[in-house]
Amino acid sequence: MKTSLITATLALSCVLPLTPQERKRRVAIMNFEYGTVSSSVASIFNTNVDVGRGIADILVDKLVTSGAYQVYERKALDKILQEQNFSNSDRANPASAARIGQLIGVDAIIVGSITQFGRDDKTTEVGAIGRVTGRYGISGVGKRESKAVVALTSRIINVDTGEIVATASGTGQSTRGGTALLGAGGGQTASGGGYYDMSSRNFAATILGEAVTKAVEVTAKQLDASVSRVPARTIRLQGLVADVNGGILIINIGSKAGVKSGDKLEVSRPGREITDPATGRVIRRITDRVGELVITEADESSATGRFSGSGEPKVGDIVKTIG
């Protein structure tokens, strides 16, 4: 009997939905702002490279690997930012970041800045880094070896209030020195659009890549340690039934709105409208419950689910969070 009770309890725990307090916190990571180090970046790569995007990509990998957070997919985030005309200057702005966070349905947004990116001896003139036949070399007479150093700051933003709930910072320095931060003639992988694959093994093996990796690792550990300070949002969903095929419904909201597999939504139908006899203004709308929808799959703008209930669902019925 005792064994049966334990088995039943475990089985029940597998099907009960997680409360907001129990589930992983959902976060999105913005490209880091790098305006203060842009001149250093340009001298290293001989062009304007978006190192803020590269840092964010590496941080995503670190947080996904640690498992403390559920991280919003970067390509989907980039698409939203383009659609909303979210400029680079808004990357570190808490209010702007919070608006994006509400739009994509995450609990928090992580924003950050790169405060140091280059050599550890800024006062020493070593010479300019130039490109020769697609590779990098050093010009000038000074050839003293230098180490690479990278420093980051980051903040976790509550998307409901715009409040900074936690901060993290990390500094990384290479153990090796050299006259070229990109190693022994670092290969050219920067595109014309200013993107450099900083998550590649080739970059990680360079002096600069070693410093970047260490700085991101320190920052990621501090962010992981702050997960308990991130409040969990209760996301309330509302959309419409777009298609009915037997007991399978397709609705007009998807992962962009926060819909995910396993969500349970109420299906209802608009009924009477109650108006104020003095003003004619609608003061209440009566809806009739049709049934319940369990989401089985979701893409960016739609979701599919299995319907159950006593009513007959129709296109145009309302779907919303239960309760």
88 bridge partner residues: none
Looking at the chain, list the stretches that DSSP marks H as alpha helix, in order from N- to C-terminal side.
Answer: 2-15, 38-45, 51-66, 74-83, 94-104, 201-204, 207-225
Q: Which regions of the chain does DSSP assign to beta strands (E)? A: 25-29, 69-71, 108-119, 129-132, 135-138, 148-158, 164-173, 238-245, 248-251, 264-275, 282-298, 303-308, 318-321
**Domain 238-321, CATH homologous superfamily name and number:** FlgT, C-terminal domain (2.40.10.410)
Q: Is the CB of residue 100 less than 8 Å from the CB of residue 84?
A: yes
The pLDDT score that the predictor gives to residue 96 is 82
- pLDDT tens string 268-285: 998 888 999 998 888 888
Contact 302, 250 (CB under 8 A): yes
What confidence score (pLDDT) does residue 123 get?
40
Q: Is the pLDDT of residue 130 over 80?
A: no
Angle at 89 between CA 206 and CA 159, to 5 degrees: 100
Angstrom distance (rounded) from CA 155 to CA 164: 6
Q: Which two tokens stand for residue 180?
A: 């070229």
Token digits for 18? Answer: 């997680």
Which two structure tokens, joined as six digits, stand for 267? 């299906």
Q: Quick one: pLDDT at residue 166? A: 96
Residue ranges per structural domain of the chain: 21-229, 238-321
- Residue 92 pLDDT class (50, 70, 90 cuts): low
Q: CATH homologous superfamily for 21-229?
A: ABC-type transport auxiliary lipoprotein component (3.40.50.10610)
What one-character DSSP code corresponds to residue 319? E
Please write the tens of the pLDDT for every residue from 139-190.
444 455 688 999 999 999 999 888 999 999 999 999 887 777 886 434 444 4
Q: What is the mean pLDDT of the chain?
A: 81
Lowest mean pLDDT: which of 144-148, 219-223, 319-323? 144-148
Instruction: Report residue 201's pLDDT band, with 50, 70 and 90 as the boundaries.
Output: confident
Predicted confidence (pLDDT) at residue 100 exceeds the cutoff of 90: no
Contact status, residue 73 vs residue 29, Cβ threshold 8 Å: no
Of 52-61, 281-290, 297-306, minimum mean pLDDT range: 281-290
124: number of Cβ within 10 Å:
10
Higher-pLDDT residue of 78 and 140 is 78
**Which stretch, 1-15, 136-150, 170-184, 301-315, has highest mean pLDDT?**
301-315
pLDDT of residue 22: 59
